[in-house]
Chains A and B, each alone.
Chain A
Amino acid sequence: MTFSLFIEQIINGLIIGSMYALVGSGIALIYGTMRVLNLAHGEFYMLGGYLVFFLVVTCGVPAYLAIPIALLAAFLLGALIQRLTIHYLLQREGWAFSTIAVTLGLSIFLQNSALLLFGENVQSVPYYVTGIVEFAGVRIPMQRLLILGVAILTIAVMTYVLKATRLGWAIRATSQDRDAAAVVGIPASRIYLITFGIAAALGAIAAAMMAPIYAITPWSGLPILFKGFVVVILGGLGSFPGAIVGGLLLGVVEAVGVQLTSTEWRDVIAFALMIAVIWVRPWGLFGSKS
């Protein structure tokens, strides 16, 4: 492998990794605030892909408009789904565990809804931008650079929201202590609703950016869900910065590993990395021991 090819693989790894990070950070936000492991999170990614496909290909909406509309739709859909299902379980003492069954059911329901609506054909979206950037022998398609740019922007916005806004403080407070948050006047159920919407939108951003590169099918959520779980386990369950670092790390290790072996090894490398991290730090890179 030449040096420039190696650099190319690292950059590709960061690009894919930034998408893993967006999906993983949604899982982490949901787990962090409401202690729910969302098994339907891959379907938010899948639906995000179809929303963009529907808007861009079927309706002919330009991508720069279609993507924000798809995000808003994903946010509303995520919030609605939370309100109709998980909300009721969290209201009841001792029912939180049933969210596993409910989100698994949701996952199956959403997959089949997509199958019904869009059929089983593999769909894709044309490139948003074309061309290749070449610098010192390293060649990166513009489309991939756009993905990285959007991911960085999204992560920056989310970090700002969590650190510096009233909503962000409420999300962090609720995730640390629901009762204490209620006592100071933060309504947990509304925070849960908004957090679920945000997490769905994060998945949809990843899907929108990946749509020109990876095929959209009713089942495209499942592999990304597994990657999302690896990411939150790497980063520490419920940690937003952990999910970002975990995602980037996973992307780079996968890309370099695949280059050294072959594509079939991709998932083996991902899970080996996860097992190695659990071995040394069972609480993840950013999680706390308790």
Chain B
Amino acid sequence: MAEAPMLRVENLNVLYGDFQILWDVSMTVGAKEVVAVLGPNGSGKSTVLKAIMGLTPVRSGKIIFEGEDLTKVPTHEMVARGISMVLERRRLFGAMTVRENILLGAYHRSVNKNTASRLEWVESLFPILAERRDQIAGRMSGGEQQMVAIARSLMSRPRLLLMDEPYLGLAPRIVSQIASIIQRINQEGISVVFNEQNVHLSFGVSHRGYLLESGRMMLTGTGEEMIHSDVIRRVYLGV
């Protein structure tokens, strides 16, 4: 009998107004696992992550993390539960410096002890950010901003990191850099859930994947299983 998964999403339904985005979505994430949420544009990938983080209201369903239902927990308390998130398009505090952005990642009272050692750990993952610490975050390149966003999210030393479209709008060279950072984060014992359109890009780093289409979970499996699946071919190629 395998131990209970770290995160279990059950029959999640999310509506924006009258429009239903997610239909009975279920998924699990194990400890120290990297899970990719795949699907075409508009399939509801981002909504799954936002719902877990409490950024979007849930109509029905359960989100169980380490035994606790998160659907009533406000977003600003997630850090205290051990969950952190890298938002789509970085969403840095653009007028603040790199150092201020990163330190804000340890804002919550539950994680603002030993800030110096947290900072040291994060900057060991991103040495370039130590050099750039006094730069205004909004004036950096897209790749550098993504590193600041990831660094900020790691300051709370989460057990689960959600990454909304981490590769979006980045040059191919930067994408492979971010991919190796995801692997590095995972080696630190952190579970990662990220979403991405490109199937091949995703399975470079993830252990397992879920495929969403029009808000419904269509398929799950390892990278190998999913790449050869007929469902993937139908969803992406329309055949």
Q: Which A residues fall within an 8 A CB radius of B?
A: 166, 169-170, 172-173, 176-177, 179-188
Contacts and interface: CB of A to CB of B under 8 A. Distances in A.
Contacts of A169: 100, 103-104, 107
Contact of A176 (B79, B95, B109): B95
Interface string B73-114: 011111110001101000111111000100111011111000
| Chain A residues touching B, majority SS | helix
Contacts, number: 70
13 contacts: A166-B107, A169-B100, A170-B107, A172-B95, A176-B94, A177-B92, A180-B87, A183-B55, A183-B87, A184-B156, A185-B109, A185-B110, A185-B156
Contact of A184 (B94, B95, B105): B105
Nearest to B94: A176
Interface of B: 53, 55, 74-80, 84-85, 87, 91-96, 100, 103-105, 107-111, 152-153, 156
Nearest to A163: B100
A223 B173 CA distance: 58
A173 B152 CA distance: 13
B77 A183 contact: no
A33 to B, nearest CB: 13
A173 B108 contact: no
B107 A187 contact: no
Contacts of A177: 91-94
A183 B75 contact: yes
B107 A185 contact: yes
Contacts of A182: 55, 74-76
A108 to B, nearest CB: 33
A185 B73 CA distance: 12
B100 A180 contact: no
Interface centre among A177, A182, A184, A186 (most CB of B within 10 A): A184
B91 A184 contact: no
B166 to A, nearest CB: 15
Q: Which 10 A-B residue pairings sit nearest by Cβ, starting from the closest?
A: A185-B108, A182-B75, A180-B91, A185-B79, A187-B76, A176-B93, A182-B76, A184-B107, A185-B107, A183-B85
A176 B74 CA distance: 20
Nearest to B50: A179
A172 B78 CA distance: 21
B79 A180 contact: no
Given A185-B108, A186-B107, A173 B96 contact: yes
B139 to A, nearest CB: 12
Nearest to B137: A176
A172 B93 contact: yes
Nearest to A288: B95
B96 A184 contact: no
B80 A185 contact: yes
Contacts of A181: 76, 93, 104
A180 B107 CA distance: 12
Nearest to B80: A185
Contacts of A176: 93-96
A179 B77 CA distance: 13
A188 B78 CA distance: 14
A161 to B, nearest CB: 15
A184 B96 CA distance: 15
A166 B78 CA distance: 19
